[in-house]
Amino acid sequence: MKARSRLAGLTSLLDYTQLFVGIMAMVCSPVLFAYLLAAYGLIYLLFPQPFYPIYDILSPLTPESLVEDVKKPGTELTWVVYYYAPWHAGCRHMAPEIVDLAARYATDKLKFAELDLGEYSKLASTLGIDLSPISQQLPAVLLYEKGEEVVRLPVKKGGRGGAFKAKDIVRVMDLENRHARLASKSSEKKSQ
C-alpha cells in the first residue's frame, strides 16, 4: 500500500508542477503560454492518461444491470459499487485501491462492481453525485444489501465530501466482518 500512496503523491506533485509551470508561463509571456498550452494539448491528444485496468476484477455495470442485479429487492448478494469518471483525478488515484479491496474481500456473496458515470451521466443526477471536474463526490463507493443502499462514501450533499482511502472504506463499510460473515454463509451452503 505504501508504494501506491507514494505513486499517488508523485502524481499529485507532477500535477501541481504542471500547474505552476503554466501559471509562470502565463505571467512571463503570453506567447510562451500559448506554446505550452499547444504542447500540453498535443500530449494529451496523443497520449491519453492511463487508467488502472479495473475490468479484470470488478464487474462492469450499466444502469440496467444496476437495477436488475444490485438494486433487486430481496437479493441475497451484498454489493460494493465503485462509481467513477475516467477523467476525474481522484477516480484515477482510487482505482488501484478499489481493485485491491475487491481482491481481498470479494466472495460469492460479497460482489464488487464498477459503473462509469462519465459514460452514464444521467444516472449520476439520479444518485445525487456531482460530475463537475472539482466534485468532491467522485469517486463514490456505495454498499448495497438486499437491494438497498446502506452506506455511501463520500456522504451525500449536506455532509462532508472529499477524499477517502481504502482503510476508510474497510472501516465505514465494515468489510472485515461482512467478508467473514458472508464467507462463512457461502461455505455452509457448499457443505450442505
pLDDT given for residue 22 in this prediction = 84
Query: What does the pLDDT look like over 136-179, one tens digit per residue?
Result: 788 889 999 888 888 888 865 544 445 678 888 888 888 888 87
What mean pLDDT is predicted for residues 7-35?
82
pLDDT band at 40 (very low <50, low <70, confident <90, very high): confident
Between 5 and 130, name the one with better pLDDT: 130
Half-sphere exposure of 6 (CA within 13 A, CB side): 3
Beta carbons of 117 and 123 less than 8 angstroms apart:
yes
Average pLDDT, the chain: 80
In the chain, the amino acid numbered 72 is: K
- Helix extents (H) in the chain: 2-28, 30-46, 63-65, 89-105, 121-127, 166-172, 175-191
pTM for this one? 0.68
Query: What does the pLDDT look like over 49-85, one tens digit per residue?
Result: 665 566 667 888 888 988 888 888 878 888 899 998 8
Residues forming beta bridges with residue 113, ordered by sequence position: 59, 81
CA 34 to chain centroid? 34
pLDDT given for residue 67 in this prediction = 86
